Amino acid sequence: MVFYLNHASWWDPLIGLLLSQQYWPSRQHYAPIDAAALKRYRILSRTGFFGVEAGTLRGAAMFLKCSLAILQSSVSAIWITGEGRFCDPRTRPAEIRPGLAHLARRIPSAAFVPLAIEYPFWEERFPEVLCRFGTPVDTSKSQNTTRDWTAHLAHAMQINQDALAAESIARSPESFKTILGGRAGVGGIYDAWRWGVAKIKGQRFQRQHGMQTP
């Protein structure tokens, strides 16, 4: 399995780690990361991250070599930020680096799953983390060139991102499954005032502002 996602925030790798343990705990999960960043955050190497030189031919070759070796195992999965750089989740058209297409051409038995991520503010002082898995791309259907594969994967990603954007704009918590809840409410004087008003009225104080959010 290859999960490829848009790169909206530096939180993305940790979100991928959370999702991997929630839904596929029995698999071995890996993710490429800039080699310079891995030197700064060595603890990430213990969670399956492997270093790749960004923007070099040697780095691209190492990415393919490591990814192909990892995917020889049927219980392995790789998580890849397909854009290769930070990018706003609503940027269109969706962009995919050619390295992902080279990998798709060489692994016809793998499932390439687009993952869209957004971090919108809804009702609370902290943003939500909205994730949406798209329809797996069938790599057994041959694409003629790397350019064709790049366009094919980008199209699947954009369809998934557009669907998530619509759900985010609708602000419908029922469209999502909550797997990790955060602290609700604004805090400080404002929440203290709301608590006092609720007590005076004999009501139960509710930190959430209007709706239960994922």
What is the secondary structure of 82-121 as a DSSP string? TTSS---TT-SS----HHHHHHHHH-TT-EEEEEEEE---
pLDDT given for residue 186 in this prediction = 52
Cα–Cα distance for residue pair 204/206, rounded to 1 Å: 6
Cα–Cα distance for residue pair 203/194, rounded to 1 Å: 11
Q: How far is CA 195 from CA 115, 125, 156, 199, in A?
A: 39, 17, 47, 6
Query: Exposed (0-12), middle (13-18) or buried (19+): which is 112, by Cβ within 10 Å?
Result: buried
- Domains of the chain, with CATH numbers? 2-175 (3.40.1130.10), 184-214 (no CATH)
pLDDT given for residue 205 in this prediction = 54
pLDDT given for residue 109 in this prediction = 82
Cα–Cα distance for residue pair 125/137, rounded to 1 Å: 37
pLDDT tens-digit profile, the chain (214 residues): 999 999 999 899 889 999 999 999 999 999 999 898 888 888 888 889 999 998 888 999 999 999 999 999 999 999 999 998 899 999 999 999 999 999 999 888 889 999 999 999 998 888 999 999 999 998 777 667 889 999 999 999 999 999 999 999 999 889 999 998 876 655 555 555 555 656 676 777 566 655 444 3
pLDDT given for residue 103 in this prediction = 93
The CA-based dihedral angle spanning residues 11, 90, 60, 55, taken in that order and rounded to the nearest 10 degrees? -90
DSSP annotation of 136 reads P
Q: What are phi and psi of 209, to 5 degrees?
A: -95, 80
Cα–Cα distance for residue pair 122/134, rounded to 1 Å: 23
In the block, tokens 């530096």 appear at: 10
pLDDT given for residue 213 in this prediction = 41
Does residue 110 contact residue 34 with C-beta atoms inside 8 Å? Answer: no
CA nearest 96: which of 78, 114, 108?
114
